[in-house]
Amino acid sequence: MKLKLSRHLLFALFLVFFSCSIKDRYESFRNNPSSASPENANVDLFLNEAQVGLSEFLATSTFPMIDFGAQLVRMETMFGPLYSNANTPENFNLSWIAAYTSIIKHNDALLPIAKERNLSTHVAIAYVLNAYTYMTLVDFFGDVPFKEADRGNENTNPHPEAGADVYAGAIAYLDSAIAWLQITPSAAPSNDLFYNGNRTRWITLAKTLKLRAYLNTRLVNTEDSKAEIAALIAENDLIDTNAEEFVFRFSTVQENPVSRHPKYIDTYQNAGTLGGLYVGTYFMYLLTQEKGITDPRTRYYLYRQRTNSGGWDAQQLPCSVLPRPAHYPADMPFCILPAGYWGRDHGNNDGIPQDTDKRTVYGIYPAGGVFDNNDNHSVAQDQGGRGQGILPLWMASFTDFAIAEATLTLGTAGSTRSLLESGVRKSIARVLLYPTEAGITVPPARIPVQTEIDNYVSKVLAQFDAGNEDAKLNVLMKEWYLALWGNGADAYNNYRRTGKPDNMQLALSSTPGPFIRSMYYPAVSANLNQNMVQKPDVAQKVFWDNNPDNFLK
C-alpha cells in the first residue's frame, strides 16, 4: 500500500511539474510581437502611423478632406449639379476612419507610454496632431465625438460633443504640447516626418495652429479671439520662414508602398484614366485673366496638355456647343479659357468626354508634376518631379495673410497692406523655389523676373488701395486663396468665414440649393453609432460660422 501511494505521489508531482512547465512556456508566448504590450511597445511606430494617417485623412484616401474643400471653393470641380447631391455620407467613410483610427487611436495609445518614459517630444507631437485632426473634423462635420472617442469596447457609441467644446479641447492639447516641449526628453523620435525632431519648430507650429483656431472663431468669440491673436503676435513665434512650414512631403517611390503625391498619381501615374479630376475654371481664370496680367505662379501650379483653345468638338468639350448660362454675369468665366486652360465649371455633372489627354492638370507645385514650358504634349508616368510633392498645410505666407485678416477685421496691431504684400511675395518666392527641391530645372527664360513679380504685386496693392474695407478684405482673401493651391481645407474655412473671394463662379444650375456649410456625417458613424444622428441637410453650420443662410454661392 505504501508503495502504491508513493507511485501516485510521484505521478502527481510529475503532473504538477509538467503543467507548470507548459504554463511557463505558454506565458512566454503570450506577448505577441505583432501586438506588443505597453511595456514593449515601440512608440516610434505609433507616431509613424499617426503621421502617415494625417496624410490619409487629408489627401490620400479615396475622398480626402482637402479635395472636398477644393471642390466647394472652385479650385477643383464639384460635379453636383446640386449641393445636396455633390457628396454622399459614404464618401466620408475612409477619411473618418483615418482620423479616428490611424491618427487619434495611435496617438492615444502612444501618450501614456511616452509620458511614462519621459519621451516629451513624442508626447507633444501626438498632442499637436490630435489637435489639428479634431479641429479639422469640427470644421467639416460640426459636432463630433471627442472625450468619449477611442474608448474601444468601453463605449462603442460615443456621443458627439459641441464643436466649440472640441475646439477648446484641441487648443488645450496645443498648450499641453508647448508645455511638454519645455521638458528635456529621454530620447528623440527616430521618424519625425515634419521637423526631424526640432522641438523649437514644433512649438512654433503649435502657436501657429492656435492663431488658425482663434481666427476661425473670431465671428463667435470676437474679444477673446482678438486678445489671443494679439498675444500670439506679440510673442513673435509663428511660422514665418520656409524652414518652419508645416508640410507633409511625398517621395518618388512608385510601389511598396506608393508614396507619391496623390494628384500626381491621379494625373501622371494614371494618365489616360483621369476620371473626374478637373481644375476649376474659376481658379484658372483668377490666375490668367482677371487682373489683366498672368500670376507668376501659373506655370508652376498648372500644366496644360494643350496650349491652345480652338478646334475642339462637342465630344471632347461638350460645353463648347452650349449657350452661356443666363444667370452668369458678363464677366464670369464659362467653359474654356484662352491658351488651353481647360478645366470644368462649378457643378458640371456631365460624363467624362474624350479629354483626358487635353485637360489642364496639376503642375510641379505642389504635386511634383511637370513645369509648363509650352510643351503641348500629354502627361505620362514618371514625368517632371515624379510625384515628389507636398501638402502645404501651413506655409509662411499663410501667417502673413492670417495676421492681415486679424488687423483688418479685429483691429490687432500691424499694417494690413504690408502684411498682404509680404504674404504675396513669400508665396511667389516659395513656389518658384520648389522645382529645385523636386530636382527639376526650369528653363531660365520661363522663370519670372523680378519686374514681373513686382508688377503683379503692384496690381494687387493698387486694388487694395482703391477699395473700402469690404473690398480690401476681398483682395486679401483672394490672394490667400491663390496661395492656398493644394490646400482646399483652409480655403473652404476662409470662404465660410469671410465670403471671399466674392465673385466665385456660380453653379451651372441656376438653383443649386443651399451651399454646403458642413458635410454629412460619414455612413460608418451615422449608421453604426446609435448616438450619431444624421444631419437633415448640408446647410447646417459649424459652430464658428454665424454668417447668414444665403451668405455663400
Residue 472, pLDDT > 50, answer yes
> Residue range 498-517: average pLDDT?
98
Max Cα-Cα span within the chain: 115
Tell me the pLDDT tens digit for each residue of 166-184: 999 999 999 999 999 999 9
Q: What per-residue confidence (pLDDT) applies to 7?
A: 41
Q: What per-residue confidence (pLDDT) applies to 520?
A: 97
Beta 246-249 vs 390-394: how paired, if at all?
antiparallel
Q: What per-residue confidence (pLDDT) applies to 16?
A: 38
Average pLDDT of every residue of the chain: 92
Q: What per-residue confidence (pLDDT) applies to 44?
A: 96
Q: What per-residue confidence (pLDDT) applies to 20?
A: 44
Provide the CATH topology of domain 39-238+514-553.
1.25.40
Residue 494 near residue 547, CB atoms below 8 Å: no
Q: What per-residue confidence (pLDDT) applies to 43?
A: 95
Going by C-alpha positions, the residue among 366, 400, 533 that lies closest to residue 476 is 400
Q: What per-residue confidence (pLDDT) applies to 532?
A: 96
Q: What per-residue confidence (pLDDT) applies to 31?
A: 45
Every domain of the chain and the residues it spans: 39-238+514-553
Q: What per-residue confidence (pLDDT) applies to 255?
A: 80
Q: What per-residue confidence (pLDDT) applies to 38?
A: 59
Q: Reply yes or no: is the peptide bond before residue 257 cis, omega within 30 of 0.
A: yes
Going by C-alpha positions, the residue among 182, 208, 183, 184 that lies closest to residue 194 is 208
User: Can you tell me whether residue 30 is helix, strand or coil?
Assistant: coil
Top pLDDT among 369 and 61 is at 369
> Residue range 172-201: average pLDDT?
97
Residue 250 near residue 368, CB atoms below 8 Å: yes
Top pLDDT among 8 and 133 is at 133
Residue 219 near residue 546, CB atoms below 8 Å: yes
Share of the chain above pLDDT 70, in %: 93
Dig out the grid coordinates for 163 from the structure: 464643436
Residue 95 CB contacts under 8 Å (≥ 6 apart), including other chains: 56, 57, 58, 61, 63, 64, 65, 522
Q: What per-residue confidence (pLDDT) applies to 39?
A: 63
> Residue range 234-248: average pLDDT?
98
Share of the chain above pLDDT 90, in %: 84
DSSP letter (8 states) at residue 19: H
Residue 119: Cβ within 10 Å count: 25
Amino acid of residue 417: R
pLDDT band, very low/low/confident/very high, at 312 (cuts 50, 70, 90) = confident
Residue 25, pLDDT > 80, answer no
Residue 143, pLDDT > 50, answer yes
Of 20-34, 342-356, 450-464, 536-550, where does mean pLDDT reach its minimum?
20-34
Please give the Cα distance from 538 to 536 (Å, whole number).
7
pLDDT band, very low/low/confident/very high, at 257 (cuts 50, 70, 90) = confident
Residue 118, pLDDT > 50, answer yes
Cα 256 from chain centre: 24
> Residue range 150-174: average pLDDT?
93
Whether the full predicted model's pTM is greater than 0.85, yes or no, is: yes
Residue 489 CB contacts under 8 Å (≥ 6 apart), including other chains: 58, 65, 66, 69, 136, 139, 140
